[in-house]
Amino acid sequence: MKHLAEYRDGDTARRLAAGIASIVTRRWAIMEVCGGQTHSIIRNALDQLLPPEVELIHGPGCPVCVTPLEMIDRALAIAALPGTIFCSFGDMLRVPGSHGDLLGVKAAGGDVRVVYSPLDALDLARRHPDREVVFFAIGFETTAPANAMAVRLAERGGVSNFSALVSHVLVPPAIAAVMESPGNRVEAFLAAGHVCSVMGTLQYPPLCARYRVPIVVTGFEPLDLLEGIRRTVVQLEAGKHELENAYPRVVTEEGNAAAKAVVAEVFEPCDRTWRGIGTIPSSGWKLAERYARFDAERRFAVGGIVTAESTLCRAGDVLRGAIKPNECPAFGRECTPRTPLGATMVSGEGACAAYYHAGRFAAGQGERP
Amino acid sequence: MCLAVPGRIESIREDQGTRMGKVNFGGVVRDVCLAYVPEALVGDYTIVHVGFALARIDEAAALETLQTFAEMGLLEEGLAEIRGAAPGDDPVLCPLPPAEPPRR
């Protein structure tokens, strides 16, 4: 684990943090929506560099963590079907379903394969025409263009033994849900840089206006994060609530037009249940009707799924920012990355895994030294 | 969501009607779909997520990010993910460092 002291820009980082300390006059709670940012913040102990007035609340932006339990159970059932090759990003394999995980299905003889790209799954389907190849298409807007392209190419290429189990989620509706949740403490958001590299920034000004919150598009490197936080605090102190782009080397206002066009062709909006949070209206994408025959949910009738969540796990409270991971009684005891009770302990983007790997075991180690 | 790793486009080709190319990530070369960066040319830098180039970025920014990732130890993780492209290996969407025992 590298810490900021070893980092070339450590001095710049400390100057940025001092700059934030010099302008802050009261307590503020800022949510970083993206799990990749949570990982970077905890790994580099950026939260401990900030003045004590600035609290970072870790958001629900980990797609592995919020994929609904019912969908995990469906994946387990499909992966166990004879003749099926089930393809997934690696960090889904240990995510606990109601009864076991994908790794367990693989150990029991199921053909479960880890892929780097959805195109690898499509390639497997081309090479194994006698098998059903199912790809677990999860992710936020960043991953959607890749997953959409795989389905589109399957259609164009007549790869009829390929299908996708789609569980896509979207950032803007999650921001709205956080703001509307009872007891919400979040006063500003860092928006996820790579999500915005695809979607652009135009979805966010209406959220700023409606909820009177600043939203600052922010990157993933330590200086990017500190600059995003600094700009957020400047807005909060000035009573402003605007969309700002602090990651212009990657993000433009309009986003990636080619990617958005393919996503709009292949997917359509749907209500989505977020694990630990509940159903958020229009917060997901599913396959559009034109591509329905590539929908693994329709192709494989695996009925009778009865979900059962761990009674100890408080991942939902962590994902809503209500508690820090090390405030959960099971954290580091019953629940570790090797024996995860919830998905937030599995993924590198999950807040619980980030705290565990940074060695933050005692409650109160969450915010500052 | 999670990291997109910068790399340099080494070659561009059409593969069954799709714009594909070879991208060099600090010495590791991988096939990447370039359909979403139609303006990108050989020699350009792009950020890549799950095998897809999402945006063209300038060289200085790319090298800066690569250097930062290297210093943070993130580059090895990102490259392990990219290297493990063959189905059956274990690349992950966002790689975890090896589990360390609790220090209580």
**Residue in A closest to B37 by C-alpha:** A258
pTM for this prediction: 0.90
pLDDT (0 to 100) of residue B104: 38
For residue B49, the chain A residues in CB contact (below 8 A) are 142-143, 146, 194
B3 Cβ under 8 Å from any chain A Cβ:
yes
20-49 in B: which are within 8 Å (CB) of A?
33, 35-38, 47, 49
For residue A123, what pLDDT is reported? 96
Going by their DSSP bridges, the two strands A84-88 and A111-114 should be labelled as parallel
Residue B36's pLDDT is what?
A: 98
Place of tokens 């330590």: A222
> What pLDDT was estimated at residue B94?
38
Residue A152: C-alpha distances to residues A93, A125, A277 (Å): 25, 14, 31
Chain A residue numbers touching B35 (CB-CB < 8 A):
149, 258, 262
Question: Which residues in chain B come in under a pLDDT of 70?
Answer: 1-2, 72-104
What's the pLDDT score for residue B43?
96
A243-245 sheet: strands from edge to edge: A54-61, A28-34, A188-192, A215-218, A243-245
Residue B100: what pLDDT? 40
Q: Is A258 on the interface with B (CB under 8 A)?
A: yes
Q: Is the distance from CB of A207 to CB of A176 less than 8 angstroms?
A: yes
- Check A113 against B73: CB less than 8 A apart: no
Q: Would you call B92 an interface residue with chain A, using a CB distance cutoff of 8 Å?
A: yes
**For tokens 């503020």, what's the residue?**
A28
- In this prediction, residue B62 carries a pLDDT of 82
Cα A118 from Cα A143, distance rounded (Å): 10
B51 with A198: Cβ contact below 8 A = no
d(CA A324, CA A52): 16
Low-confidence stretches of chain A (pLDDT < 50) are 1-2, 366-369
Is the CB of residue A70 less than 8 Å from the CB of residue A42?
no
